Structure 1
Amino acid sequence: MPAQDVTIRPYDAGDWDAIARIHDAARLDELRGSAAGVEAFLTLAQTAEGEGLFDGPLWVAEAGGEVAGFVGLEDDEVTWLYVDPGRYRQGIGRALLRHALTVTGPTTEVCVLDGNAAALALYLAEGFEITETRTGRLVGNERFTVTGHIMHRRVAAPTG
């Protein structure tokens, strides 16, 4: 399904079950390639409050009448971006990211776990650059150590 068939709208409390299901399935994929592995998995219900899911704007993507993904920001950082694994590579993540970028400032940040090749490719394709790579405790499940790429996208101020 191409990105033009995706509708982005603000999160509504009735979306909770859908985003929890999407997060929990996609988070396993995210962790699978990381140093922590799937043993570090925690559900959205376990992490949403502690990791600030609702600290900034949150949007969902609908495709085919169903919630297919979500993105959240805190200030100018993309803190959450998950797509239903059954809908990978359909432009949903890109549509969510581009929507989020419409409200961030001239510099936007994201952290991508080392080993998450699909996410890294998406952010690089959308103009992000790796500015730092760090190894440390996994946010939300500090018992595990991971390596993350801090990425930034800078938009030049208009001249004129």
Structure 2
Amino acid sequence: MHIRRYQDSDWSEVCTVHDAARPIEVDNFMPGAAVLALEDVAEEDEFFAGDCFVALMNNHIVGFMCIEPPELSWLYVSPNYHRRGVGQQLVEYVLPQLGPDAFLTTALENTGGVMFYQQMGFRISATFPGSCQAYPCTCVRLTLPGSMRENQPPVPVKESLVLAGYCESNPGRAVRDAQGIWRWV
């Protein structure tokens, strides 16, 4: 496997990887038919805001990752290449660039993804209301041990709070539990 910087000519293959893998990520809280293609969400979801890298096997893109240090903002691997070390190699490739305060946010319902990141050394530091394409979910922030982000309470967006049943008179708040994890209550 070879990892290199994203190039404009990679767009079509990156879209194919995303569009095959994204439904797996969100299948516990939204229907697969509702998942929008990368081509439709890239600008709004700030795909091009950071540095992107692609993983190639036999000259074909099998995974990609984007970072905005210290945040890992995108990571998708073609389902045909799951459990072959592609995601692991991508994360290991960018960890030095992310530094000790590396963090990411994903849906808690993305159990496979959460377990993967935990195996890569990240740990849950916060859970809070989230949403994806107006479908409610629980967001989870994962950080490296000792990251300054472990001590920062989450700040959910208003739309997510409303979807989770919070309102102006009861907006909820972040509280740290006995394990040191921020939870929205």
1:38 maps to amino acid: G
The equivalent residue for 2:160 is none
SS of corresponding position for 1:115: coil
The equivalent residue for 2:154 is none
Match of 1:147 among 124, 138, 149: 138
Deviation of the 1:81 alpha carbon: 0.1
Match of 1:7 among 2, 7, 25: 2
The equivalent residue for 2:156 is none
Match of 2:26 among 19, 31, 41: 31
1:21 maps to amino acid: T
- Does the 8 Å contact 1:28/1:38 carry over to 2? yes
- Does the 8 Å contact 1:79/1:110 carry over to 2? yes
Structure 1: distance between partners of 2:42 and 2:13: 14
1:26 maps to amino acid: A
Q: Stretches of 4+ moved more than 3 A in 1?
A: none
Structure 1: distance between partners of 2:131 and 2:12: 28
Q: TM-score, normalised by structure 2?
A: 0.75
Gaps of 5+ in 1: 1-5
Structure 1: distance between partners of 2:10 and 2:42: 14
Structure 1: distance between partners of 2:15 and 2:102: 25
SS of corresponding position for 2:118: helix
Gaps of 5+ in 2: 148-185
- Does the 8 Å contact 2:109/2:137 carry over to 1? no
- Does the 8 Å contact 1:114/1:148 carry over to 2? yes
1:99 maps to amino acid: Y
- Does the 8 Å contact 1:31/1:40 carry over to 2? no
How much is the aligned-residue C-alpha RMSD, in angstroms?
Answer: 1.5
Q: TM-score, normalised by structure 1?
A: 0.86
SS of corresponding position for 1:79: strand
SS of corresponding position for 2:144: strand
Structure 2: distance between partners of 1:72 and 1:154: 21
Deviation of the 1:97 alpha carbon: 1.0
- Does the 8 Å contact 1:40/1:144 carry over to 2? no
Structure 1: distance between partners of 2:108 and 2:30: 10
The equivalent residue for 1:3 is none
Report % sequence identity: 30
Structure 2: distance between partners of 1:38 and 1:133: 24
Structure 2: distance between partners of 1:100 and 1:90: 18
2:50 maps to amino acid: G
* Higher alpha-carbon Rg: 2
Structure 1: distance between partners of 2:52 and 2:107: 21
